[in-house]
Amino acid sequence: MARVFVSGSSTGLGLLTGKELLASGHDVVFHARNAARAEDLRREAPQATAIVVGDIGTIGGALDIADQVNAHGAMDAVIHNAGVGYGGALKRTAEGHPDILAVNVLAPYILTALLSRPKRLVYLSSSMHRTEPHLDDILWQTRRWNGSLAYSESKLYVTALSFAIARYWPDATANAVDPGWVPTRMGGPGAPDDLVEGCATQVALAASHDSRLSGLTGEYLHHMATQAPSKVSRDVDFQDRLLDVCRELTGIALRVRTREGRLEKP
């Protein structure tokens, strides 16, 4: 039995992922953005081990969520599921960060840095991650806003983050998952992929002992199979630059240990 935290799990893929884990006998800590969603979640998943509540899209909110999760003890696995889509205008958080960047990239970075280290980490990516990075204007201060491009960039960044963690944390597994275009609030009712199949890979990576997936790390998967990610996501210099940018924007350093045993601070 594993203990798993799933961010953004009051609706959609996150909720279904948590339910699938509960049905398999695992302990699941769910996350809801506010009290109203938490109440809905208690009705949807009454067997939840715990529900943490807070806005993961602000630095303070992500810090609070990390504290709440850690209060329930170390997790065996963390699924970074929370995400913002690309359908709207530019929205900035209290810190001035685009909400797509804050939720899709900075929140998983903060939680990765501050949660008691799990054995398995899963980061939600997208087939749309195949784009060019713009770390020099990651906050969209000089470019004209393009929500679709901002979303694609955020998924490139979180994919690269997962590979960096796999590289720096050899005692854990870290992978990126493309769940497909599924009919959630973000994907819309006309999305062509299957919702259940869309959560199967992250469920397996988090808790399964399937020989195909257990021990797999530093990979990009879609529907239980590895795929080739964008080349730039594999570039270790780009990964380290991304970690530098995330540290600068959040004020939080990610402590890592290399395979050679050296303690480093990217």
Q: Which amino acid would we find at residue 208?
A: S
Tokens describing residue 136: 């020099």
Q: Where are the beta strands (DSSP E) in 11-82?
A: 27-32, 50-53, 77-80
Cα-based distances in Å from 104 to 100, 107, 109, 208:
6, 7, 9, 25
Tokens describing residue 125: 């990516």
pLDDT single digits (tens) 88-123: 899 999 999 999 999 999 999 999 999 999 999 999
Q: How many CA atoms lie within 13 A of 53 on its CB side?
A: 9
Tell me if residue 129 falls in helix, strand or coil: helix
Q: What is the pTM of this model?
A: 0.93
Per-residue pLDDT in tens (0 to 9) along the chain, 266 residues:
899 999 999 998 999 999 999 999 999 999 999 999 999 999 999 999 999 999 999 999 999 999 999 999 999 999 999 999 887 899 999 999 999 999 999 999 999 999 999 999 999 999 999 999 999 999 999 999 999 999 999 999 999 999 999 999 999 999 999 997 645 555 445 545 566 677 899 999 999 887 778 789 999 999 999 999 999 999 999 999 999 999 999 999 997 654 444 444 44
Active-site choice (19, 109, 123, 155): 155
Cβ neighbours around 46 below 10 Å, total: 8
Say whether 19 is catalytic. Answer: no
Where are the chain's structural domains? 3-264
Report d(CA 37, CA 20) in Å as an integer: 19
Q: What rounded mean pLDDT belongs to the chain? A: 91
Active-site choice (19, 109, 123, 151): 151
Q: Where are the beta strands (DSSP E) in 9-135?
A: 27-32, 50-53, 77-80, 120-124
Q: Quick one: fold of 3-264?
A: Rossmann fold (3.40.50)
**CB-based burial, 232-251: b 16+ in 10 Å, e otherwise:** bbeeeebbbbbbebbbebbe
Report d(CA 99, CA 26) in Å as an integer: 31
Say whether 151 is catalytic. Answer: yes
Report d(CA 5, CA 22) in Å as an integer: 11
Report d(CA 26, CA 53) in Å as an integer: 20
Tell me if residue 181 falls in helix, strand or coil: coil
